[in-house]
Chains A and B, each alone.
Chain A
Amino acid sequence: MPAAFNIYDLYKIMFDNKIILIYQGVFDQEMIKSVISMTEKKLIQDNTDENLRKKLFNIMVEGLQNICKHQLDIDSTENNPFLIISSDVDSFDVVTGNLIANDKIGIVKEKIDYVNSLNKDELKEYYKKARLNSVISSVGGAGLGFIDMVRKSGNPLEYKFYDLGTDFSFFIQKTKVGNSN
């Protein structure tokens, strides 16, 4: 570990960006339960509106299940997925990051761009169709998670793929959850 590591720099980044939780490591059902339970307590303590809490939990569950389903079975530090939750005045950002095989990027990008382009009614229709057809893609899902996140948050999904120079890239996805939507 480099000697110059300064734990306070990291803490300060988190504090300044109002990050209330960061978890990097193994994700499983047990961890999802723990993270949600811990977040719930924190939000109740902060008197966060119940409606906003529910929305946030829905988005968290979708994001964490995506990580659980798609995390690659390559266990090393640099491949660890992560979850970051930050809070603002009346909204939260839920950010997940995980490795993705380069050949899956196209289909994921296409799904997100498509759901981002739809309005509320179109999303509802598309959700119904996707559920009925429920075509499980090679990425592991029918894209229902993405549709659900856009519907429940009322905001488009932000994403970025970082090329790692290998067969894999790092996929970061952010959902803003606010009370206004």
Chain B
Amino acid sequence: MNIELPKKIHEQMVSHQFVVSIMGNLNQEFLKSIIKITDAKLSKLDVDTTMKNRIFHFMVECTQNLCKIEDEDQFSNNSLFLIGKNEEDYSVFLGSIFSKSDTDTIIDLIDKVNSFDSQDVKDKFYDEISVNENSKKNQMLLSLLSISKRTKGKIKFDTFSIDSVNNFLSFKIIISNNK
């Protein structure tokens, strides 16, 4: 790696006001440590417990459920996790590689979840839990409903085509003190 590159990456982090940026295989053990570190960082920034819990919930749902639906592959389950600060709001990103078919399914589900109001989200969440169906699609829907319920906001996403079978899919939520 050219020694100039880390500075460029760092500058990008700084220009977008990222307070925490981690790329790697966010397995359960590492996630626990990341949550601890993120907790320490956000505490220093006077982020209240409710906001912190929403951020942690989003991280856990994305890494432990949504990203887990993909098998190990050439991308080694690398995920990029970023927290950016914008005045009183925090933007939380989690991006990873998904197959095109899973991307399509997830986007359909996100659109569906985003069309619900907060009461619909709650009702649908409990309906889905009671269905007790363990399909991949049900698991994804439950995760998305859970994210929407806890973060009280719309789930934003971006997709980028990598090759004929894979996409990079990133989830983004904005968490503010006003909610």
Q: How long is the Cα–Cα vector from A159 to B6 in the complex, in angstroms?
A: 11
- Expressed in whole angstroms, the Cα–Cα distance for A84 and B6 within the complex equals 7
Which of under 10, 10 to 19, 20 to 34, or 35 or more describes the interface residues of A? 35 or more
| In the complex with contacts A7-B93, A158-B3, A2-B15 CB distance below 8 A | yes
Is A97 a contact of B23 with CB atoms below 8 Å?
A: no
Contact: B18 with A34, CB < 8 Å?
no
For A24, give the chain B residue with the smallest CB separation.
B21
Interface residues of A (CB under 8 A from B): 1-2, 5-8, 10-11, 13-15, 17-26, 28, 30-31, 33-35, 37-38, 41-42, 45-46, 75, 77-78, 80, 82, 84, 86, 93, 95, 97, 158-160, 162, 170, 172, 174
Enumerate chain A residues within 8 angstroms of B38, measured Cβ to Cβ: 25
Are A30 and B9 within 8 A (Cβ)? no
Q: Can you name 9 A-B residue pairings with CB atoms under 8 Å?
A: A7-B168, A10-B12, A15-B75, A20-B23, A23-B21, A38-B24, A46-B76, A97-B6, A97-B7
Closest A-chain residue to B94, C-beta based? A7
Contact of B168 among A8, A23, A159 (CB under 8 A): A8
| Interface assignment of B143: CB less than 8 Å from any CB of chain A | no
Q: How far is the CA of A172 from the CA of B118 in the complex (A)?
A: 47
- Interface hit among B27-35, B59-67, B109-117: B27-35
Interchain nearest-CB distance for B53 vs A (Å): 19
Interchain CB contact under 8 A, A22 and B33:
no
**Other-chain residue from B6, B24, B95 in contact with A42 (beta carbon distance below 8 A):** B24
Residues of A within 8 A of B6 (CB): 82, 84, 95, 97, 172, 174
Question: Do B37 and A15 touch (CB < 8 A)?
Answer: no
Cβ of B179 under 8 Å from chain A: no
- A8, A42, A86: the one within 8 Å of B170 (CB): A8
Known contacts A24-B13, A38-B27, A41-B25: does B80 contact A174 (CB below 8 Å)? no
Per the bound structure, the CA–CA distance linking A74 and B153 in Å amounts to 33
Are A30 and B27 within 8 A (Cβ)?
no
Other 13 A-B pairs with CB < 8 A, given A10-B9, A82-B9: A1-B91, A2-B16, A8-B160, A22-B9, A23-B24, A24-B21, A25-B19, A38-B25, A38-B30, A42-B24, A77-B17, A80-B19, A174-B6
List 10 tightest A-B contacts by C-beta distance, closest first: A34-B33, A8-B160, A38-B30, A24-B21, A21-B24, A78-B14, A25-B20, A7-B170, A1-B86, A22-B23
Cα separation A29 to B6 with both chains bound (whole Å): 23
Residue numbers in B under 8 Å from A35 (CB-CB): 33
Does B57 touch A at the CB level, under 8 Å? Answer: no
Give every chain B residue within 8 A of A18 (Cβ-Cβ): 1
Name which residue of chain B comes closest to A96, CB basis: B6
Would A170 and B10 be within 8 Å (CB), given that A15-B75, A30-B36 are in contact? yes
